[in-house]
Amino acid sequence: MPPPFTIAFPPGVTVGKWTRAFTQRHPEVELRVIRMRDWEQPDILGSGGADMAFVREPVDADGLHLIPLYAEDMVVAMNHEHVLTLEKKLHRADLADETLLSAEPDEALMRRVAEGDGVAVLPASVAKALRRKDVVAMRLEDAEPSRVALAWPREAQHPLVDEFIGIVRGRTAHSSRNPEVAAAEAASGAKQKKRDARPAQRSPKARPAHQRSARSRRRGR
């Protein structure tokens, strides 16, 4: 029987569709899904606390495999009566005179925002997960997006890591997981794209019949 398989994820990242698919395919495996705090992210894989983790970049990738997944907007969370809510768009310069709250993104942080202690810059999904009626979240136009990746250790890799990667990437239960086949298919696809990108060679333009006959008469002279 395979050993338990542990997946960790940070606030704002939704993993249910992938873990449900994994459980359906491997009901014999004990799947553990744990939420990690920001300060746990650097060590949770190295310490053996999880076999795989969804992480927010930047992350120290030393000793890890890393697959980038997606990026999301950053937003400014503020009290719903804050003067900045009157702006149509927000930029980092607009926050110059604001108190930025940088504590762990949880209910306590959003409560401080709601009380007017300051504003918080968060990934959009985190603000959505912690939303309150007295807090407004607005996109920060010129902020670097928050990037989410899937990470796992290079050493002591769990035997079901490749299976979970396939699920996240949308591979079906009947898809081939043979790396040689996958590499061959990728190479074939690349060659086909290269061929498709080549400009079509034009065939020599045929002369109209009356031009050909005139030329033939000149040659017969």
Mean pLDDT of 49-58: 94
Q: Which residue has the higher pLDDT, 213 or 102?
A: 102
Coil vs helix vs strand at 88: coil
User: 119-128, 130-139, 176-185, 189-198: which range is least confident on average?
Assistant: 176-185
pLDDT computed for residue 104 by the predictor: 77
Residue 201 pLDDT more than 80?
no
Which whole-number Å values give the CA distances from 200 to 38, 194, 195, in the listed order? 54, 12, 10
pLDDT computed for residue 38 by the predictor: 81
User: 96-100, 101-105, 186-190, 193-197: which range is least confident on average?
Assistant: 186-190
The predicted-structure confidence for 137-169, as pLDDT tens digits, reads as follows 999 999 999 999 999 999 888 999 999 999 999
CATH 3.40.50.2300 is the classification of domain 5-71+146-182: no
* CATH of 74-139 given 3.40.190.10, 3.40.50.300, 3.40.50.880, 3.40.640.10: 3.40.190.10
Domains 5-71+146-182 and 74-139 share a fold: yes
Domain chopping of the chain, boundaries = 5-71+146-182, 74-139
Helix (H) or strand (E) segment spanning residue 9: strand 5-9
pLDDT computed for residue 39 by the predictor: 84
Q: Which residue has the higher pLDDT, 6 or 194?
A: 6
Buried-exposed string 71-98: b where 16+ CB fall within 10 A, e elsewhere: ebebbbbbbeebeeeeeeebeeebbeeb
Identity of the residue numbered 33: V
The pairing of strands 146-153 and 74-79 is unpaired
